[in-house]
Amino acid sequence: MTVELAAVAGQSTSDINRAQSPLAIRGMTVSYGQKPAVFSVDMTVEPGKMTAIIGPNGAGKSTLLKAALGILKPLAGTTTVYGKSVSEQRHRIAYVPQRASVDWDFPTRVIDVVLMGLYPQLGLLGRVRPMHRAKANDCLIRVGMQDFATRQIGQLSGGQQQRVFLARALAQDADLYLLDEPFAGVDAATEKAIIGVLKSLRDAGKTVVAVHHDLSTVAEYFDNVFLINTRRVAEGPVASTFVTQTLQDAYGGRLAGAQMEALRLAPLDASTS
Amino acid sequence: MNGSEFVPLSLVPMLTGIFVAVACALPGNFLVLRRQALIGDAISHVVLPGIVVAFLLTGVVSTWPMLLGAAGAAIVAVVAIEAVRRLGKIEAGAAMGVIFTAMFAGGVLLLEQSDTSSVHLDVEHALYGNLESLIWLDATGWSSLWDLEALAGLPVELPRMAITLVVVALFIAIFWRPLKISTFDEGFARTIGMQTNLLGLALVIMAAIAAVAAFDAVGSIIVIAMFICPPAAARLMTNRLEHQVGWSVAFAALAAIIGYVLAGYGPLWIGFADSVSAAGMIATVSGLILGITALIGPHRLRGAAAPTA
């Protein structure tokens, strides 16, 4: 009941913002079989902010992003990016897939992966010029991977691979950065490096949306949260939205009182924990 | 061996063998990296029923009906494989295994039941092809290469394979970047606007064209081997796709040359009277090359086992 009320309450303001929103999703529904993975989800991302998509395992976080981008075909739903269709705005979007979604044994070098981000500029047969290489190298410097440019990607650690993916996104010079679990299985140094880059993007007026797993860092890293558990649970600023009630709604009984306490959030009441 | 013997007897089969090997190895690089290597296997099997049906409909063994029949069978197979995979929700390799063995078996039955005794179409031919029969009767020596009259008598398989190779190579060259990007990271490729499904289909169609064109001259064994062995061996030689494709072309050509020579003269060298099937020997040599690279290739160890340099 509370879930539906929240959705209705969010509707009126979100429609007004839709034209300016870097990413506005309406009625997104995706199914892998009989059961929907994402059901009738609305999302309106605030420009110039860092938004975390959170929710339990299997809640449809990655699926929502993939469907919004057209990587997966949704059953229903529309996506607009800065008020226009995704296909019209591809040049403004940079997507970083889950690291585990690709085969890192692929025969290519770090610099070549970053250059893939320049494909929209290069086209089918355009020559890779020194300016393109300089650009790719600059992106590697921003993620601290410049010394690995000629390494085969399979020789990197998980954290290094994730930074290469981020460098490829930087090469795209986008306005909207969508990252699927950028901190999954990375070392502490990489996590620090990535969040530093993402915050600098935000400070430059870009919009960052990341599927995020670690509830303990949400408040520290992000401005806004979007909670999902197949359906939209809540969205808004961390201070007002990342609270006990919405987390209970999203995670059900899966978050124990002790975990809530670790997040420095007040438990709902004694009977629910 | 002098030109007056080599040019009429061996030049055409050897060149045809090289063209077949390279035309199959080129798309094979991407198929292997996409874990779709079995597609080549499937295609080369399913062309048999297509060719038999084309023969039954037209009553003659001629190039275009056979190519069309084979292409039609390949399309039926691709659709059937996708259907089994999606409807049955089973792994792609298993779906291919079901479809191509069933279609090949159907082709064998059709072939046995139909009256093909008057023409050169039988199961053996389907498997081994007939590379050795591509004799250039009009050639008298190296000078025939500049003799238009003699060139007109070239076996049709050679120019057909040469055109096929050019088409396949052009496709790979023009679509190099989309093929590479979508093979590595399909999700990312879609977000930058690539039609990854169409591209994947085009790659399979290129492989099908190579397999169908090669089938008549060299049979299915060599086609299956060339889709997989040279690219797989090449992967063990380098960590860059650009170099891998170069190595695969070299390995494919090497297998064709060594295989042809060994088939023709190898048995004589060790005291046997007859030569053996060139297609079979070429496929065997490509397997040996893969075996050697697996033992000594510089990049045979990867991931955690690779030496960090």
pLDDT, one tens digit per residue, over A86-137 is 999 999 999 999 999 999 999 999 999 999 999 999 999 999 999 999 999 9
Residue from B42, B27, B12, B11 nearest B230 by CA: B27
**B140 reaches A (C-beta below 8 A):** no
Model confidence at A270: pLDDT above 50 = no
- Residue A270 in any domain: the answer is no
The whole-number pLDDT of residue B277 equals 85
Under-50 pLDDT residues of chain B = 308-309
Tokens representing residue B198 in the block:
């169409």
CATH at B243: 1.10.3470.10
Strand, helix or coil at B115? coil
> Which domain, by its residues, includes A148?
2-260
Among A10-24, A206-220, B189-203, B260-274, name the one with the lowest average pLDDT. Answer: A10-24
The whole-number pLDDT of residue A15 equals 55
The whole-number pLDDT of residue A9 equals 46
Tokens representing residue B46 in the block:
């399913």
Number of structural domains chain B divides into: 1
- Residue A173 in any domain: the answer is yes
The whole-number pLDDT of residue A4 equals 46
Per-residue b or e along B202-237, where b marks 16 or more CB atoms closer than 10 Å to that residue's CB: bbbbbbbbbbbbbbbbbbbbbbbbbbbbbbbbbbbb
Q: Is B72 exposed, middle or buried (0-12, 13-18, 19+ CB in 10 A)?
A: middle
pLDDT tens digits for range A226-258? 999 999 999 999 999 998 888 888 888 667 666
Contact A97 B187 (CB under 8 A): yes
- Residue B63 in any domain: the answer is yes
Distance from CA of A154 to the nearest CA of B (A): 5
Cβ-based neighbour number of residue A9 at 10 Å:
11
The whole-number pLDDT of residue A8 equals 46
- Residue B308 in any domain: the answer is no
Q: Higher model confidence: residue A46 or residue B275?
A: A46
Region A171-196: mean pLDDT is: 95
- Residue B149 in any domain: the answer is no
- Residue A269 in any domain: the answer is no
Contact criterion met (CB below 8 Å) for B206 and B171: yes
Residues of A with Cβ-Cβ distance to B187 under 8 angstroms:
66, 71, 95, 97, 101
- Residue A273 in any domain: the answer is no
> Which domain, by its residues, includes B105?
3-142+154-300
Contact criterion met (CB below 8 Å) for A40 and A27: yes
- Residue B8 in any domain: the answer is yes
Number of structural domains chain A divides into: 1
CATH at A101: 3.40.50.300
**B86 reaches A (C-beta below 8 A):** no
Q: What's the CA gap between B159 and B142, in Å, rounded?
A: 18
Contact B308 A122 (CB under 8 A): no
- Residue A271 in any domain: the answer is no
Region A171-190: mean pLDDT is: 95
- What sign does the CA torsion over A187, A193, A195, A198 have? negative
Q: What's the CA gap between B164 and B63, in Å, rounded?
A: 14
The whole-number pLDDT of residue B180 equals 97
Could you tell me the pTM of the whole model? Answer: 0.88
Nearest residue, CB atoms, A125 vs list B174, B184, B303: B174
- Residue B160 in any domain: the answer is yes
- Residue B30 in any domain: the answer is yes
Strand, helix or coil at A41? strand
